[in-house]
């Protein structure tokens, strides 16, 4: 199978995901079964740090999970092709530490592909920091579009 380009994967994400799930992610790298996405920093993605009680701001947890989900979703058509329909079955996230007020990076990869299920993992990073802010695993069921 031919490797997809970043613009081809961005097109798949734009067509398949609802507008509310799109936040201007940039496809930085696409391999067969791996994707690196960047979420450009925007102040409105932050909320008050109620847990750390620092008076500072941290990224919204659902936004961080959504970036990981989008990256893992993108791995599947990158590996299998545009006609696949990935449907998330499970997602487990471990927040390791707060994300800095910087771009977020998601590095996702397929760790096992079966006939009907694909298992993936993602590490999340703040731009410029080599230590991950989160680790995510997920399972997707896969189906295929009917030929037209």
CATH of residue 110:
3.10.129.10
Furthest CA-CA distance within the chain: 55
User: In 3-state terms, what secondary structure has residue 18?
Assistant: coil
> Within a domain: residue 24?
yes
What pLDDT was estimated at residue 23?
Answer: 65
Mean of pLDDT over the chain: 85
> Within a domain: residue 110?
yes
As a whole number of angstroms, the distance between CA 123 and CA 53 comes to 26
> Within a domain: residue 13?
yes
As a whole number of angstroms, the distance between CA 123 and CA 145 comes to 30
What pLDDT was estimated at residue 118?
Answer: 97
What pLDDT was estimated at residue 47?
Answer: 78
What pLDDT was estimated at residue 13?
Answer: 62
What number of CA atoms fall less than 13 Å from residue 60's CA on the CB side? Answer: 12
> Within a domain: residue 77?
yes
Using the predicted structure, report yes or no on whether residue 114 has a pLDDT greater than 80.
yes
pLDDT higher at 14 or 68: 68
pLDDT in tens, 66-104: 999 999 999 998 888 888 889 999 999 999 988 888 999
CA 65 to chain centre: 8
The number of folded domains in the chain is 1
**Domain range spanning residue 78?**
6-144
Q: How confident is the model at residue 111 (pLDDT cuts 50, 70, 90)?
A: very high
Segment holding 11, helix H or strand E: helix 6-16
Using the predicted structure, report yes or no on whether residue 143 has a pLDDT greater than 60.
yes
> Within a domain: residue 103?
yes
pTM > 0.95: yes or no: no
> Within a domain: residue 1?
no
């Amino acid at each position: 199978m031919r490797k997809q380009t970043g613009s081809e994967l961005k097109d798949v994400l734009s067509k398949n995901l609802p507008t509310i799930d799109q936040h201007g992610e940039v496809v930085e790298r696409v391999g067969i079964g791996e994707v690196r996405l960047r979420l450009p920093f925007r102040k409105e993605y932050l909320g008050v740090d109620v847990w750390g009680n620092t008076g500072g701001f941290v990224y919204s947890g659902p936004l961080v999970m959504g970036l990981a989900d989008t990256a893992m979703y993108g791995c599947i058509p990158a590996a299998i092709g545009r006609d696949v329909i990935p449907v998330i079955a499970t997602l487990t996230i471990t927040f390791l530490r707060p994300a800095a007020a910087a771009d977020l990076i998601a590095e996702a990869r397929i760790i096992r592909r079966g006939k009907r299920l694909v298992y993936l993992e993602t590490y999340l990073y703040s731009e410029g920091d080599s230590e991950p802010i989160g680790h995510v695993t997920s399972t997707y069921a896969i189906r295929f579009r009917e030929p037209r």
